[in-house]
A and B are shown apart, each in its own frame.
Chain A
Amino acid sequence: MTITEDREAQAPDAPAGEVGKARRRKEDQRLITGRTRWTDNIQLPGMLHLAMVRSPFAHATISSIDAAEAKGAPGVIGVFTGEDLKDIQGVNITAWPVSPDQKTPDHLPVAVSHVAHAGEIVAVVVARSAAEARDAAELVDVDYDELPAVLDLKEAAKDEVLAHPDLGTNKSATWQLDSAGQGSGGDVDEAIAKARDGGIVIEREYRQQRLIPAFMEPRSTVVDPTGEQVTMWSATQIPHVLRFCIAATTGLPESKIRVIAPDVGGGFGGKLQTTPEEFATLAVARKLGKPCKFTETRSETMVSGHHGRDQWQKLTLSAEKDGTVTGLKVELMADLGAYAAIVGGGVPVLGAWMFNSIYKFGAYQFNTTNYYTNKTWVDAYRGAGRPEATYAIERLMDELAVEVGVDPLEIREKNWIKHEEFPFTTVAGMTYDSGNYEAATAKARELFGYDELRAEQKRRRESNDPVQLGLGVSTFTEMCGLAPSRILGALSYGAGGWESASIRMLATGTVEVVTGTSPHGQGHETAWSQIVADRLGVPFENVEVLHGDTQIAPKGMDSYGSRSLVVGGEAVLRAADKVIEKAKPIAAHLLEASVDDVEFKAGTFGVKGTDKGVTISEVALATWTGHNLPDGTEPSIDADATFDPDNFSFPHGTHLCAMEVDTETGATKMRKYVCVDDIGTIINPLIVEGQVHGGLVQGIAQALWEGAEYDDQGTLVTGSFVDYTLPTAADTISFVTDHTTSPSTYNTLGTKGVGEAGTIASTPAVVNAIVDAVRHLGVNDIVMPCTPERVWKAIQAGAAVTTEGERDAAPHFDEGAPNQDPASGASEGSDQ
């Protein structure tokens, strides 16, 4: 894809207004050239530098720390242990205790006596330069008493080895959604029992491997304690939440804390966290009364930044003989790692409403049990709960299609919500407001050349071609735009889901937009400017978007969960409407007309039936001077708005993937990828295309390449990008992206959110395609990431099974079932 000025100019159906225009992002010049303030670029007078001493052990008690030699090293100002900082360091809290009896170990930024994963901070070295701090960190002598570590999720469930002996169990919490219990559907056990007698029951267990968010900019924090106030710059997605958490746990008054997220280089959920490093830097800076900086290395990101996914999914789907789905039971085990992170146990819960997806199940039950292990903590990663759900259901629908003997698109169409049935309340109790699965699927099918690829697949099978072709389908939906505050409250989440905006009309006619969202690469400055330029009728160039500083944007809930546009963009729009409302009487006064006769259009207040008018910029100037306002009018047309949505938004789409599988080596190669997403109204097609492309690659990467692996000592084996195999552009193909549009009914512009769609949809499309390519060889599952070795071994194992009967007899949910241990890679294919 080449992005040129031409592209901007030549968009075939370029709209007259700003919304819908493929504008290049106004923030990119400074971001790309580096003429900006990444946190690590910030240099303050007299600033000191930190290095962290981290535990090499997965589980240990700290018996002693000898920092004498480090304290004497060149340039060293001090060495601080958890004991030194314990009164002021605060604690890394979880915002979402999913059950009243959730077990939650204290997560101290700097461990005092106990470490629960390798990479945990045990001491902080402060020096005049980063190099001196790093050198001295090597000299800190920590004595550990190693404890047995629990590393495997299923082992953790046995409670034989405890990640936190004080808790007495590894189990954090269980959480259930039951359609019969809440009245949104039937009894799932009854549905399954009925299907066992003459219907179809599909039972599978799928693994969501552990992933490591790989944002481009490593995390960095600068803290400047000045008098009573403390300013923290941090590479974070959540400056407002961070400020709250600091106030809530350190004793610093919230009013004395200023948190700034300057330009932030990516997050993907990985910076939706309040980190031990942030709290440790704050504690040391306060202790010394000097500005301090900590910037992590990539190796530190890998062990200390939170990871994503890590679930086992036990699934039972029931259907009638003709493939009409009747019930779905989901039993998850979720690995939280060593601590409950900020969303923590809530991540698997976010999947609860999505396993049933676009299908009309009569009965549904979702259960998750969350466990602690001695591994890096786990939290939100692009999609958070919804990719896991989408993967499970879309894999299951392919299995159902095989069982019924129909095309996977046909089984989906048989069961999905028809476009005329919206709004539709699902078996999980969620009301989908809009969508058109038929339209998206029809368009995708045509762009893909589905029938021709099916014909090619048949030819390759018949000729026994060493390279087989498979087609994968994913007709996904997701819930995004976190979130209606009342729903969050009902779920015991610790905050609301509203978003805030302010619009300041400057005297010279330019506009400042303040948003509580906190962009970290998405292009909010451009998109918000487009919205405001249209609404107020001012030039795009005259709009400046301010964000990410709690002193400038005092209220906000930040950016995650595809919420910024659908919640934050709506707040911006509503603030603009309030500006217009406030300006109207002033305009009427200036025009010497009745307010009722004044109408606002394209930036001008006009008097009906005349050519008299005054622009909003002229009103802004008149308001600023205050020379001639109506009696009793406040000289301001600035406005604030806070928007709390009534519901989530539900983007959906049809993703089709063709994969070639080299049966001799197990190597897979993407042949074609088509996605038609319905994300409602599009503000900027260029930004959307970027979000979809990047999202797709992240989802495809889970299917093919990425996976965090530990050794039996609890050391992260994939601790660098040598072993944690991130794809690059060289590993991907050119995607075909398109859209259908069913506007959301829960916000004015009809937007739905696109930040996570590609990631959520693409993973099952790819795995479905690989399994489809080799299903005739006896394969019905391959554990992710589908490495060539796993694919090849699945084919070998499948070929070793000689009869259908033998394959059917293999127990699925048993301990020894072949897909239980992804590391063994022995025979993932024959587990039906």
Chain B
Amino acid sequence: MIPAQFDYVAPTSVADAVAALAEHGDEAKVLAGGQSLLPILRMRLNAPGVVIDLGRIPELQGVTEDGDHLVIGAMTTYAAVLASEAVSAHAALLNKAIATVADPQIRHRGTVGGALVHADPAGDVGAPALALGAELVIAGSGGSTRTVAAEDFFEDLFTTAVGEGELLTQIRIPKHTGWGAHYEKFVRVSHQWSIVGVAATVRSEGGSIAEARVGLTNMGSTPLRARAVEEALVGKQATDEAVRSAVASVAEGTNPPSDLNGDADYRKHLATVLTRRAVLAAAGA
């Protein structure tokens, strides 16, 4: 497992990183936590000429609060997000989803931003980011930044709105204080990528569901948001029967993969069962 030779650059500011990207163009790959990139390099599935390591840029680290938003630096590790009380209080869904990622070693290395930009549809961060209406802050050349809604961020398999020469710097999440949350991840072994995952967060009022947000993992080439289900849940009692009927159509229009873990039809069935369970758990039922 020896990668092909590459040059290594470790900028210490976003400006320097963007400059390095501009300098090396197509030749460069960005290294965040390395949990996907390093295996790819070691198996020689990719052989970039330059690796730009973002690990020494302090401004990309940590969780802060900005009014009614949480701001998570793109290089914040899963473990750091899990340890953040602000995330638990205001974006419980993200906490629950990240708690299921792989194993402790990977959670201490892997980063939230790295996972979002890698955009593996089986990854566990995309669905909660979508469900929570996250905004992604992207830095470009000359100190420019732009903000993209999560719904516009995921374009295809392993493809996001982050363009050539750009870097994801922040994930801004509207606070969902007091919302119940649950991430229902279906795997065969604990360290596996999701076969299907459902991220649900719910605001309850007097025993019924006032608002709901539902994101789906690995049900298509990108994470998906189940808006029809969200709408159908509004005003429903958090009972098995009511939720079952509200989520029955969650898999409609999805295009999940078929592989050794299950074919597309089985995944659609799973999505229906798991969504019911996730919503009920998020509603505290």
Please say whether chains A and B are actual partners in one complex: yes
Across the interface, which residues of A come within 8 angstroms of B189, CB to CB?
705, 725-728, 730-731
Interface of A is mostly: loop
Query: Nearest chain-B residue to A133 (Cβ)?
Result: B2
| Interface of chain B: mostly helix, strand, loop or mixed | loop
Q: Which residue of B lies closest to A74 (CB)?
A: B5
Residue of A nearest to B188 (CB): A725
Bound Cα distance A731, B188 (Å): 9
- Cβ of B191 within 8 Å of any chain A Cβ, yes or no, is yes
B270 at the interface (CB under 8 A from A): yes
Residue of B nearest to A823 (CB): B260
Q: Verify B188–A787 contact, CB threshold 8 A.
A: yes
Interface residues of A in 780-797 (CB under 8 A from B): 787-789, 792-793
Which of B16-24, B85-93, B133-141, B261-269 is the contact stretch? B261-269
Q: Which residue of A lies closest to B276 (CB)?
A: A664
Q: How far is the CB of B96 from chain A (nearest CB, A)?
A: 17
For B103, the chain A residues whose CB sits under 8 A away are 728, 730
Contact string against A for B residues 127-158, beta-carbon threshold 8 Å, 1 for contact and 0 otherwise: 00000000000000000000000000000000
How many Å lie between the Cα of A10 and that of B1 in the bound state?
46
> For residues 244 through 266 of chain B, which have their beta carbon under 8 Å from a beta carbon of chain A?
260-263, 266
Give the complex CA separation of A401 and B193 in angstroms: 40
Considering only CB atoms, which chain B residue lies closest to A717 in the complex?
A: B260
Contact B262 A788 (CB under 8 A): yes
Asked if B30 lies at the interface with its beta carbon under 8 angstroms from chain A, I say no
In contact, B188 and A138 (Cβ under 8 angstroms): no
List of B residues within 8 angstroms of A722 by Cβ = 193
Is A135 in contact with B5, judged by CB distance below 8 angstroms?
yes
Chain B minimum-CB-distance residue to A709: B260
Instruction: Check: A26 CB closer than 8 A to any chain B CB.
Output: no
With A134-B2, A787-B262 as contacts: A730 and B191 at CB distance below 8 Å = yes
Q: Give every chain B residue within 8 A of A297 (Cβ-Cβ).
A: 1
A662 to B225, CA, bound (A): 26
* Complex-state Cα separation, A131 to B2, whole angstroms: 6
List residues of A (680-735) whose CB comes within 8 Å of B's CBs.
Answer: 704-705, 707, 709, 717-718, 720, 722-723, 725-728, 730-731
Q: Within residues 1 to 50 of chain B, which ones have a CB less than 8 A from any CB in chain A?
A: 1-2, 4-5, 43-44
Given contacts A134-B2, A787-B261, A705 and B188 within 8 Å (CB-CB): yes
A443 at the interface (CB under 8 A from B): no
Q: Which residue of B lies closest to A726 (CB)?
A: B189
Contact A135 B261 (CB under 8 A): no
Residue ID in chain B nearest A134 by CB atoms: B2
CB distance from B191 to the nearest CB of A (A): 6
- Which residues, 361 to 404 on A, are CB-close (under 8 Å) to B? none
| B260 contacts A718, C-beta separation under 8 Å | yes
- The answer, yes or no, to whether B84 is at the interface (CB within 8 Å) is no
Residues of A within 8 A of B64 (CB): none
A709 to B186, CA, bound (A): 21
Which residues of chain B have C-beta atoms less than 8 A from A720's C-beta?
43
Chain B nearest CB: distance from A824 CB in Å? 10
One digit per residue, 1 when the CB lies within 8 angstroms of any chain B CB and 0 when it does not, for chain A 287-317 equals 0000000000111000000000000000000
With a cutoff of 8 Å between Cβ atoms, the chain A residues found around residue B261 in the complex are: 787, 789
Whether B192 sits at the interface, judged by CB under 8 Å, is yes
A717 to B193, CA, bound (A): 16
Q: A667: CB under 8 A from chain B?
A: yes
A665 CB–B CB distance under 8 Å: yes
Cβ-neighbour of B190 out of A131, A135, A298, A728 (below 8 A): A728
Which residues on the A side are within 8 Å of B190 (C-beta)? 728, 730-731
Cα A720 to Cα B43 with chains together (Å): 10
**A792 touches which of B5, B44, B269 (Cβ 8 Å):** B269
Q: Is A825 in the interface zone, CB < 8 Å from B?
A: yes
Contact, CB under 8 Å: B4 / A664: no
B-side contacts of A299, CB under 8 Å: 1, 43
* B162 on the A face (CB < 8 A): no
- Give the distance in Å from the alpha carbon of A135 to the alpha carbon of B193 in the complex: 31
Bound form: Cα–Cα A200–B141 in Å: 80
Q: Which residues of A contact B106 (CB under 8 A)?
A: none
Q: CB-CB < 8 A to A726: which residues of B?
A: 189
Q: How far is A807 from B4 in the complex, measured between Cα atoms in Å?
A: 58
- Residues of chain A from 798 to 832 with CB closer than 8 A to chain B in the complex: 825
Residues in B neighbouring A545, C-beta threshold 8 A: none
Instruction: Report the minimum CB–CB distance from A289 to chain B (whole Å).
Output: 26
Contacts of B195 in A (CB 8 A): 788
The answer to whether the Cβ of B232 comes within 8 Å of any Cβ in the partner chain is no
Residue contact B260 to A792, C-beta cutoff 8 Å: no
Decide if B263 touches A665 in the complex (CB within 8 Å).
no
CB distance from B276 to the nearest CB of A (A): 9
CA distance A704 to B189 in the complex (A): 10
Q: Bound complex: CA of A709 vs CA of B260, how far in Å? A: 8
The winner among B189, B190, B192, B269 for most chain A CB atoms within 10 A is B189
Task: Write the residues of chain B forming the contact surface with A, with a CB cutoff of 8 angstroms.
Answer: 1-2, 4-5, 43-44, 103, 186, 188-193, 195, 260-263, 266, 269-270, 273-274
- Give the 5 A-B CB pairs with smallest separation, nearest first: A730-B190, A789-B262, A134-B2, A297-B1, A725-B189
* Residues of chain A having any CB pair with chain B under 8 Å: 130-131, 134-135, 138, 297-299, 664-665, 667, 704-705, 707, 709, 717-718, 720, 722-723, 725-728, 730-731, 787-789, 792-793, 825
15 A-B pairs within 8 Å (CB atoms) are namely A131-B5, A135-B5, A138-B4, A298-B1, A664-B273, A667-B186, A704-B188, A705-B188, A709-B260, A718-B260, A728-B191, A730-B191, A789-B262, A789-B266, A793-B266
